[in-house]
């Protein structure tokens, strides 16, 4: 099929590379010329396992082409919209890129096309977009909401092996187009109306975020009553009605989706006259986990003022260089505000200067350099580099009291205690503070 993907961000680029790899002729439109040029030269602007190889293959066999002008999408059979819908400070979803692209598409189309909405948009928007931009063109443009559930770090795998494909449309014929487009993907197709498909995306992310905040609350309570979150979460998750995934207690969720979509859904609820109390609590608990970590460190060290702390991990999870909404950003700011000196290390992620990171913060290129002369360390991301670190050597470089706050419960408490560290996890019995 001849497919255009609008936007070479995280979702758009994965979609474009995977569709080209499946044999479709793909045009990817990226209006940032610098980024577009980078892609033409085979460079992926962010790290995603396996993506650079797919990009190289698509460029080489001519199945994948990049342009910055949307007019190249004019004669495609399918146009997939994958532009950003970032969060505003009040939680509102910024739809300006969607409106711009929809207006450009409706003006240029002169042959029948299926428009697939991949961007996450508030439930109800698709119907509005149809009315506002497509009504004059409805004989030419068939609209389908087709949200994505790609996880960073395993997006290519998730593309080819999703648990379901959600399709919301009012035009039955578009389903056949989707089947043709995804003919090498064996997942069940869930067909529904447009607004319901839009809701599936928000509901899925909000539910997963709820599981995380729930287990973090149980972890906090475990510490107070002298229980241990690890066996608790394991046994709770063995109930198949609950499931074992997303019960890992720690510093809470970050990334490009959960924070944006939970706040977005809360805003949409309020806008529609509904107070989504449960979701508000999920968001609040997640923000509070970062403060819980600072409070723990402070209690373990007596004071943070004048202490040197190593921050291990910047990315919001391992396997990615993405630092969006990562707990690391808030924790570094709070540590510096409390008067601590901070040295940080991440195997992949870097902090751009414009992120508003304060003075008194040093970025190191080696984990042991980051730990040298530190009174304490906080593990933000469960990178293998930290789990497998030579903690004995680190001990000789750090200075008393050698506190380790394991924000992801990924280290061995007994091993660290035996080496002479003062260890605390999140809700772990050995991390209980008296």
Q: Phi, psi at residue 97, to the nearest 5°?
A: -70, -35
Chosen residue from 253, 276, 383, 421 binding ligand UDX by CB under 6 A: 253
Work out which of 119, 248, 262, 409 binds ligand UDX, going by CB under 6 A: 248
Burial class of residue 233 in the structure, from the number of CB atoms within 10 Å of its CB (0-12 exposed, 13-18 middle, 19+ buried): buried
CA distance 357 to 323: 13
Q: Which is nearer to ligand UDX, 258 or 391 (CB)?
A: 258
Regarding 258 and contact with ligand UDX (CB under 6 A), the answer is: yes
315 binds ligand UDX (CB under 6 A): no
Residue 213 Cβ vs ligand UDX, minimum distance, rounded to whole Å: 9
Helix (H) or strand (E) holding 218: helix 194-225
Q: Would you say how long the chain is, in residues? A: 434
Options 317, 333, 375, 402; binder of ligand UDX; rule CB under 6 A: 317
Q: CA-CA distance, 213 to 206, in Å (whole number)? A: 10
Task: Please state the closest distance from residue 116 (CB atom) to ligand UDX, in A.
Answer: 16
Q: Is the peptide bond before 401 cis (omega within 30 degrees of 0)?
A: yes
Of the candidates 151, 179, 234, 274, which one interacts with ligand UDX according to CB under 6 A? 151
| Dist CA 70 CA 29 (whole Å) | 6
The least distance separating ligand UDX from the CB of residue 260, rounded to whole angstroms, comes to 9
Q: Scanning residues 207 to 246, which ones bind ligand UDX (CB under 6 A)?
A: 208, 212, 246
Among 7, 12, 58, 254, the residue binding ligand UDX under the rule CB under 6 A is 254
Question: Partners of 379 in the beta sheet?
Answer: 312, 406
The residue among 171 and 187 lying less far from ligand UDX, judged by its C-beta, is 187
Specify burial of residue 363 (Cβ count, 10 A radius: 0-12, 13-18, 19+).
Answer: middle
Distance CA(346)–CA(321), nearest Å, equals: 9
Q: Which residues touch 265 (CB under 8 Å, ≥6 apart)?
A: 202, 203, 205, 206, 276, 279
Q: How far is the CB of 10 from ligand UDX (least distance, A)?
A: 9
| CB of residue 255 to ligand UDX, shortest distance in Å | 3
Contact between 152 and ligand UDX per CB under 6 A: yes
Judged by CB under 6 A, the residue of 16, 59, 73, 150 near ligand UDX is 150
Regarding 149 and contact with ligand UDX (CB under 6 A), the answer is yes
Binding of ligand UDX by 247 (CB under 6 A): yes
The site for ligand UDX (CB under 6 A) is made up of 148-152, 205, 208, 212, 246-248, 250, 252-258, 316-317
């Amino acid at each position: 099929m001849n497919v255009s993907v609008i936007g070479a961000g995280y979702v758009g680029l994965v979609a474009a590379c995977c569709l080209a790899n499946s044999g479709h002729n793909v045009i990817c439109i990226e209006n940032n010329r610098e980024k577009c040029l980078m892609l033409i030269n085979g460079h992926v602007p962010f790290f995603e396992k396996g993506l650079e190889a797919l990009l190289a293959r698509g460029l080489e066999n001519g199945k994948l082409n990049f342009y910055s002008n949307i007019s190249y999408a004019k004669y495609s059979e399918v146009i997939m919209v994958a532009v950003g819908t970032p969060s505003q400070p009040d939680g509102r979803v910024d739809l300006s890129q969607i409106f711009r692209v929809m207006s450009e598409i409706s003006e240029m189309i002169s042959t029948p096309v299926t428009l697939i909405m991949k961007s996450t948009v508030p439930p109800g928007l698709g119907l509005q977009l149809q009315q506002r931009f497509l009504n004059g063109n409805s004989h030419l443009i068939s609209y389908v909401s087709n949200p994505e559930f790609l996880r960073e770090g395993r997006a290519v795998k998730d593309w080819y092996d999703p648990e379901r494909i959600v399709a919301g449309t009012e035009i039955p014929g578009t389903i056949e187009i989707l089947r043709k487009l995804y003919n090498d993907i064996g997942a069940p197709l869930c067909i529904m109306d447009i607004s319901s498909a839009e809701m599936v995306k928000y509901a899925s992310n909000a539910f997963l975020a709820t599981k995380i905040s729930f287990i973090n609350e149980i972890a906090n309570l475990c510490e107070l009553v002298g229980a241990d979150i690890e066996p608790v979460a394991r046994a709770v998750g063995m109930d198949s009605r609950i499931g074992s995934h997303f019960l890992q207690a720690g510093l809470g969720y970050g990334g490009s989706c959960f924070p944006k979509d939970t706040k977005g859904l809360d805003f949409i609820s309020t806008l529609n006259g509904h107070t989504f109390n449960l979701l508000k609590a999920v968001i609040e608990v997640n923000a509070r986990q970062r403060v819980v970590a600072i409070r723990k460190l402070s209690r373990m060290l007596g004071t943070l003022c004048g202490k040197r702390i190593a921050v291990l991990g910047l990315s919001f999870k391992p396997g990615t260089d993405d630092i969006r909404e990562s707990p690391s950003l808030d924790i570094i700011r709070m540590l510096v505000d409390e008067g601590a000196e901070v040295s940080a290390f991440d195997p992949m992620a870097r902090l751009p200067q414009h992120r508003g990171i304060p003075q008194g913060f040093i970025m190191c290129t080696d984990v042991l350099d980051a730990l040298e002369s530190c009174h304490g360390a906080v593990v933000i991301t469960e990178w293998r580099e930290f789990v497998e670190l030579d903690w004995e050597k680190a001990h000789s470089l750090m200075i008393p009291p050698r506190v380790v706050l394991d924000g992801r419960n990924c280290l061995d408490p007994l091993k660290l205690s035996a080496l002479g560290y003062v260890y605390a996890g999140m809700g772990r019995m050995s991390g209980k503070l008296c």
